[in-house]
Chain A
């Protein structure tokens, strides 16, 4: 029996090629898109899931509730780790993790290795299996390093790495370390990345801060004993927090800070490992909004829904053409459920084709997809049982929905009516129209969202940031030696096109090195708590970046006293409450006396996601970036020249210099990636909707051939008939636009609220989206209706 069903299904598919093609193409592209999107979401959700103790590992996050503001921080003081191990019950391991790029030397070869400075517990906490060496011994000595397989191979080629001595330059001078173990390469879904591990004690600042409760440098991770809940841990932890941060808490309270949501004014919370990847504030935060994976799932659901709607509509329409067969089978003794199985089998067969095509398509497109959207998907995910079973279950649900409804509908048809051929594709059917409306709602929502996302990205990219982005080149210094840096500055000064050279601890935007950071300080000023962002800069900072000096002056070598001078921005001046802050002396915390020498106009030193904040610029810390203002007719050539110069001075330089406008754009690459995906999804959805509408139009026109013939004989004009035929469909599209507009407006308003600076939503976006939808629908339908209207009525009338 099943064989007979499949035989019929197969022959039917071959007979009705247009519908088979629309269904298979639509379904398989939709399945392919959905697969890629869901796999992307799956990958984001399964980050860091390979740690065996993962569910017991937490990062500590500090929360300061200052007045109405919540300020979170991920860096912890070094003595806190000791205190936690001694005083908080249920803690198994703790480890700081501090990452940077470290120059490594073996023989004559230099390398930069991505390094994590960690505590001894690190390898016990996290699952980074060792290929060679012993987990207990690997980090027991301060002069030990653990290399990954790949790093060991590049350093030692085929030689045995364990026991070899390499030199690391962590503090400006080369020191010998012994390779104690080789770890397997870090999986690509790991937030924690490293090529080399060594002890935190090797950090040059370790000894100065090891007992300082006020200096919070590095993120701290804890592993709890199995069975200890994070809530219980937080409760015990904050008991000791109250004890050790008494002064800080009093300060905060004095300035109007108050606890919120059952938390004290200064509170340390525990963030689970599974949330590292998608939670802002985590050290291993990917920059990806936690909503985006959901959005991808929603988008893939929508695309599948549109394809499934096509499937349902076409199957129903097609089965009316087969009413004779249905009626006959009933008269031969077929039961409703047998007919249902038959029609479902056909749907299943078609979906199977689509699935096979889509899998092939996915495999084929995956490299391009990864390239276009900056993802790292691999076909190996199909080895995962959960992914495979997810795909299979999802597939069955789709075939049940897409094939089941038409099957059910067809099987219930009245036997007499179908035998008499009375049942046909009427002028309209509620379900079909409803489904078409749903399709176009999705299409219109996606079109208008795409428009608004595009506008917002444009807005961000063209928004004035308050500093010179087009002429300033930022050079990431990658831990270069001070002598290299001063040589570089000197050589830059000699170049003809260079107008000004400065530097900073922090980059503006995101450079080619991909690192970012911020430095926040809070202190008491005139009995008020004042919080500010800080940045260490080099002389001529304002001049190089074309910051507007509102009062006072920039840092300059001509003044000897600049070592404890600060330049502040207007917001900081406002926060201090001083009309004329220049010349002001005050203490930023203990032992940090400063005096204000200048005020600059506010500028966006962070991304436009954030509000502009008070800023203090100081001049004492080591530089991580050099900023160069160039003025030349050929900016690209200057960039090249500077890149070459830098590489010749520091042969280890890894990251290329880049212009600041490029850096600023790079801050929004998540948005760009997201919008690219969204736009592709929208285009796909619209195309599939159009295909479905086209096929339905073909069917309806075929059905109304006779009516059209009669109307023409009676004197109807071609345009009149086209209008008559298209009208029904266009009405549906208009209904869809009316429903879709408020929905799109709502979603986009919420999305825009994620940006502190955003464009407003214009009414014409929706008008445009509506127009596009109407245009597409009209084009699709009129292709068919014009053909029908032009046909010779004699042909259509003679056939009966």
Chain B
């Protein structure tokens, strides 16, 4: 599903280059639950951003479902963001001015889905996450765990093929983290969504079925 070939990412320092990622070759198959681990500054977040098309690689090729997507134009990239990739952030990134319901609805608005279908899909997701009672609350009225649930609900409402999660439990305490991780596992197993997470926690990594270690821009599997 995802193929990285000789992917590098660097930025100029003086006369030379500082590599964050160097010659990464990586293949992720559909239905995998991958955990990317490594110390701070090892390049794992950069890797995730490249996977999510938020950042372009300096060198190498990126094939998403067999199609080259590094150097893709803005419009096509937007289409992938709308249809195939869902994001979950450490800081949740909910829109403070919108209610739970409206936050979850937002990606569907960008996909131009008709109102009736939007309604039923958001209702489904709310139901599934047991959040129907909270649908009219604003993010600041929720606990961190609940906010991240909304974040995940928003990520899956567009029915993506892959979810990219950047330390999804980083701001949560262990009980909440457990709930979130179980949810990911469930999504991976039941809904067959490919999940790639960046995490520091060995415990969280055990929910997945593959661990990628990054150190100094290189992969050690």
Interface residues of A (CB under 8 A from B): 1, 4, 7-8, 11-12, 15, 324-325, 327-336, 338, 415-416, 419
Residues of B within 8 Å of A332, CB to CB, are 81-82, 87, 106-107, 110, 154, 158
- A336 and B82 form a contact (CB under 8 A): no
Residues of B within 8 A of A4 (CB): 98, 102, 105-106, 109
**Smallest beta-carbon distance A422→chain B, Å:** 13
Given known contacts A333-B82, A333-B111, A415 and B74 CB-to-CB distance under 8 angstroms: no
Contact B110 A333 (CB under 8 A): yes
B49 touches A334 (CB 8 A): no
| B residues lining the A interface (CB < 8 Å) | 49, 52, 54-55, 74-75, 78-79, 81-83, 87, 89, 91, 93, 95-98, 102, 105-107, 109-111, 154, 158
Q: Check A7/B75 contact, CB under 8 A, given A1-B109, A12-B97, A331-B87.
A: no
Q: A415 near B54 (CB under 8 angstroms)?
A: yes
Q: Among A1, A8, A327, A416, point to the contact of B93 (Cβ < 8 A).
A: A327
- Closest CB in chain A relative to B35 CB, distance in Å: 21
Docked Cα-Cα span, A416 to B55, in Å, equals 7
A416 to B49, Cβ gap below 8 A? Answer: yes
* Structural contact, A331 and B95, CB atoms closer than 8 A: no
A123 vs B97: C-alpha distance when bound (angstroms): 67
- The distance in angstroms between the C-alpha atoms of A325 and B93, with both chains bound, is 7
B91 to chain A: closest CB distance in Å? 8
Contact of A335 with B111 at beta-carbon distance under 8 Å, contacts A7-B102, A11-B97, A12-B97 already known: no
- A419 proximity list for chain B (CB < 8 A): 54, 89, 93
Please pick, from B74, B81, B97, the residue contacting A336 in the complex, using a CB distance under 8 A.
B74
* Selected contact of B98 from candidates A8, A324, A330, CB within 8 Å: A8
Q: What B residues does A325 contact at CB under 8 A?
A: 93, 95-97
In the complex the two chains form, what is the Cα distance from A77 to B24 in whole Å? Answer: 101
Nearest neighbor of A1 in chain B, beta-carbon distance: B109
Q: Which residues of B contact A11 (CB under 8 A)?
A: 97-98
Given contacts A332-B81, A416-B55, contact A15 B97 (CB under 8 A): yes
Chain A residue numbers with a CB within 8 Å of B158 are 332-333
Whether the Cβ atoms of B93 and A324 lie closer than 8 Å is yes
Smallest distance from the beta carbon of B115 to chain A beta carbons, Å? 10
A-B contacts, 12 listed (Cβ < 8 Å): A4-B98, A4-B102, A4-B106, A4-B109, A11-B98, A329-B106, A329-B110, A332-B107, A333-B83, A333-B158, A336-B74, A416-B55
With A331-B52, A333-B107 known to touch, is A8 a contact of B79 (CB < 8 Å)? no
Give the residue of A328, A330, A335, A336 whose beta carbon is less than 8 angstroms from that of B95. A328
Q: Are B87 and A338 within 8 A (Cβ)? A: no
B95 touches A8 (CB 8 A): yes
Which B residues are in CB contact (< 8 Å) with A324? 91, 93
Report the Cα distance A333→B54, complex, angstroms: 11
Partner of B81, one of A7, A331, A416: A331
Give CA–CA (A336, B52) in the complex, Å. 18
Of the candidates B54, B83, B105, the one having the most CB atoms from chain A within 10 angstroms of its own CB is B54
Tell which of B81, B89, B105 touches A333, judged by Cβ atoms closer than 8 Å. B81
Task: Look across to chain A and name the residue whose beta carbon is closest to the beta carbon of B79.
Answer: A333
Contact in complex: B78, A335 (CB < 8 Å): yes
The residue in chain A whose Cβ has the minimal distance to the Cβ of B46 is A416
A416: which B residues are within 8 A, CB to CB?
49, 54-55
Instruction: Please indicate the chain A residues that have their CB under 8 angstroms from the CB of B98 in the complex.
Output: 4, 7-8, 11
In whole angstroms, how far apart are the Cα atoms of A15 and B140 in the complex?
A: 13
Q: Which of A12, A330, A335 is close to B75, meaning CB atoms less than 8 Å apart?
A: A335
CA distance A453 to B82 in the complex (A): 62
Residues from chain B with Cβ under 8 Å of A329 in the complex: 95, 106, 110
Please, which residue of chain B has its CB at the minimum distance from the CB of A14?
B97
Least CB distance from A332 to B in Å reads 4
A328 touches B109 (CB 8 A): no
Query: Least Cβ distance of A416 to chain B in Å?
Result: 5
Q: Which chain A positions have C-beta within 8 A of B111?
A: 333
Q: How far is the CA of A4 from the CA of B97 in the complex (A)?
A: 11
The 8 closest A-B pairs by CB, nearest first: A333-B82, A333-B81, A11-B97, A328-B93, A332-B107, A333-B110, A331-B87, A325-B95
* Nearest-Cβ distance from residue B128 to partner chain A, whole angstroms: 20
Q: Shortest beta-carbon distance, B108 to chain A, in Å? A: 9
In angstroms, Cα B179 to Cα A122, docked, is 94
A603 vs B102: C-alpha distance when bound (angstroms): 81
A328 to B52, CA, bound (A): 13
Residues of A within 8 A of B49 (CB): 416
B181 CB → nearest A CB, Å = 22
B153 to chain A, nearest CB (A): 13
Q: In the complex, which of the residues A1, A15, A334, A338 has the most CB atoms of chain B within 10 Å of its own CB atom?
A: A334
What's the nearest-Cβ distance from chain A to residue B40, in Å?
14
Asked if A338 contacts B110 (CB within 8 A), the reply is yes
B188 to chain A, nearest CB (A): 21
Could you tell me the distance between the alpha carbons of A327 and B52 in the complex, rounded to whole angstroms?
13
Q: How far is the CA of A331 from the CA of B91 in the complex (A)?
A: 14
Chain A's nearest CB lies how many Å from the CB of B212?
21
Give A325 to B83 CA distance when docked, in angstroms: 19
CB-defined contacts of B93 to chain A, threshold 8 Å: 324-325, 327-328, 419
CA distance A8 to B102 in the complex (A): 10
Given contacts A332-B81, A419-B89, contact A8 B109 (CB under 8 A): no
In the complex, which residues of chain B have a beta carbon less than 8 angstroms from the beta carbon of A336?
Answer: 74
Tell me the bound Cα distance from A264 to B162 in angstroms.
90
The interface residues of chain B lying within 8 Å CB-to-CB of A335 are: 74-75, 78
Chain A residues whose CB sits within 8 angstroms of the CB of B87 once the complex forms: 331-332
Distance in Å: Cβ of B99 to nearest Cβ of chain A = 10
CB proximity of A680 to chain B, nearest CB, Å: 38
Min CB–CB distance B220 → chain A (angstroms): 26
Contacts of A331 in B (CB 8 A): 52, 54, 81, 87
Complex CA gap A15/B105 in Å reads 22
Tell me the complex Cα distance, A76–B25, Å: 99
Closest to B107 in A: A332
Could you list 13 further interchain pairs (A-B, Cβ under 8 angstroms) beyond the known A1-B109, A8-B95, A15-B96?
A: A4-B105, A8-B97, A8-B98, A11-B98, A325-B93, A327-B93, A329-B106, A333-B107, A334-B110, A335-B75, A338-B110, A419-B54, A419-B89
Task: A336 to B74: give the CA distance in the assembly, Å.
Answer: 9
* Residues of chain A within 8 A of B91, CB atoms compared: 324
